[in-house]
A and B are shown apart, each in its own frame.
Chain A
Amino acid sequence: MSRDTTKLRYAESHEWVDVTQEDGVAMATIGISKFAIEALNDLVYMDLPEVGRTLTVGEEFGEVESVKAVSPLYSPVAGEVVEVHSDLPDNLEALNDDPYDFGWIIKVKLDGDLPDTLMDHAAYEKQCSQAG
């Protein structure tokens, strides 16, 4: 399986969201973009939330740390954390190579619709090219 990055939604703070229907329930899989991972460079630590935690849009749910700095992870959606990718913190180097499949961080049972502020792939590409 390979996630189609052109179908994902993106937050300004570089998290990606993939919404799927599981048994009629909308699930959001969340990760961070390749752009963010490469800009951070040399990742050394990731802190994940507990399963069952309720997140609001923009709430800090964890952090990723590079050699030089700590970056908070912000939830692009509202909902309950139903799964965390607990293998990820011990395999951060793999995040570099595969941010969209192996690199998923949490799954959230969506509460309501996706926020309007999330960008599509084209808009996010544009944000990244302007950041460079």
Chain B
Amino acid sequence: MGAKMVPFAGYEMPIQYAAPEPTATGESSGPKPASGIVAEHHACRTKAALFDVSHMGRLRFDGEGAAEFLDHVLTRRVTDLPVGGVRYSMVCNAEGGVLDDVLVSHLETPSERRFHLLVVNASNRAKILKWIEPHLADFPTVTMSDRTELTAMIAVQGPMAIEVCKKLFSFDPSRLKNYEARITDQFAKPVIVSRTGYTGEDGLELIVRAEEATRVWENIMLAGREAGFTAAGLGARDTLRMEAGMPLYGHELDETVDPFSAGLNFAVNLPNRTFIGDEALREIKQKGPSRVRIGLLPEGKRPARDGCDVLDQDGQKIGAITSGGPSPTLGVPIAMAMVDAKHAADAQYQIDIRGKTTTARSTKLPFYRRAVS
């Protein structure tokens, strides 16, 4: 498919698809189709895009007490997650630092076997497996299996995604609400269909057996051809999630960040629960976090990237950019930063972009919110 591949978390991943074939001095280049990160980004916002996200880790939990086990490991309550429900949660250490941000689903097979599925970040999969194992020892009836290699994961994201996928499975995914999932099939092969995503658009995330992945991908591309579906890579996935104000592990989140600093209070359920990190998180919540995640609109055209220092109006360093780049939808640079909590409400900041200072105005996250029909 003419994808430009880059190594990521042990996988060869497409950063973008169908970039124009560069010729050395190329006088003969006629009109060429739109391609690359920006074209993929716009396709997702206006039609739909397909992402191969098989690198994400998929861990399955079976047996009596699986919900109680996950409830112990996750910051979000799991014991009351109904079959068909999906929740976004953190895995925290005892200090309240974020080990990973995850999606937990409660699913039921056609033979009425119930299990929980944890989707973790590719770069954190080994760490989470290692973290979970000793805690699992206290729940002898619960078994964990790493399904990552046996399965593949495809995200179909965009305003046309649900409509086009309506007839592709035995179950019509338009019947799912946001953050609902269920097991269905395509040509008698099982597919987990989840109305979730990482782009700010409506859409689905599908998990299929690894050997079915190409067929399912091609079926969706074929069904979406008239609607203008496109394959999209990690580059567009990053600009889309940035506009949607969604954190990326290793940028907005790491073990030195707690969920409250990252502005993810909704992913922590404290009342009437005990779980790993709960005491630390109660204390942080009571005192207030020391840092906060903010949205920034840098002036001019020059993007501020992660790692750039954020300064107050007196030029003192108060934080750093965690993610930043041009926003294809807004046509201006956007950035997220972690800054000292006492500067959380400042209207303006300075950003040091490789030695030159740019003024940036504070803005509410997300940068982009889709129109809800």
Contact = CB atoms under 8 A, between A and B. Distances in A.
Interface of B: 15-16, 19-27, 29, 35-38, 235, 239, 301-303, 305, 325-326, 328, 333
Contact of A68 (B25, B37, B302): B37
Interface string A61-102: 000011110100000000000000000010000000000100
Given A6-B25, A39-B22, 16 more contacts: A5-B25, A35-B24, A35-B25, A38-B22, A39-B19, A44-B301, A44-B326, A45-B301, A47-B302, A65-B302, A67-B37, A67-B325, A67-B326, A68-B235, A68-B325, A121-B25
Given A67-B326, A68-B325, A41 B303 contact: no
Given A67-B325, A67-B328, A68-B37, A45 B24 contact: no
Determine which residue in A39, A68, A89 has the highest number of CB atoms from chain B within 10 A of its CB, and name it. Answer: A68
Contacts of B35: 41
A2 B21 CA distance: 23
Interface residues of A, number: 25
5 contacts: A35-B23, A44-B333, A67-B36, A100-B25, A132-B22
Which A-B residue pairs are the 3 nearest by beta carbons? A38-B22, A128-B24, A125-B24
B303 to A, nearest CB: 6
A67 B235 contact: yes
Nearest to A37: B22
Contacts, number: 71
Contacts of B325: 67-68
A124 interface: yes
A45 B304 CA distance: 11
Interface of A: 5-6, 33-35, 38-39, 41-42, 44-45, 47, 65-68, 70, 89, 100, 121, 124-125, 128-129, 132
A100 B29 CA distance: 14
A34 B239 contact: no
A45 B37 contact: no
Contacts of A42: 36-38
Contacts of B302: 45, 47, 65
Nearest to B20: A38
A9 B98 CA distance: 52
Contacts of B328: 67
Given A41-B19, A67-B235, A129 B36 contact: no
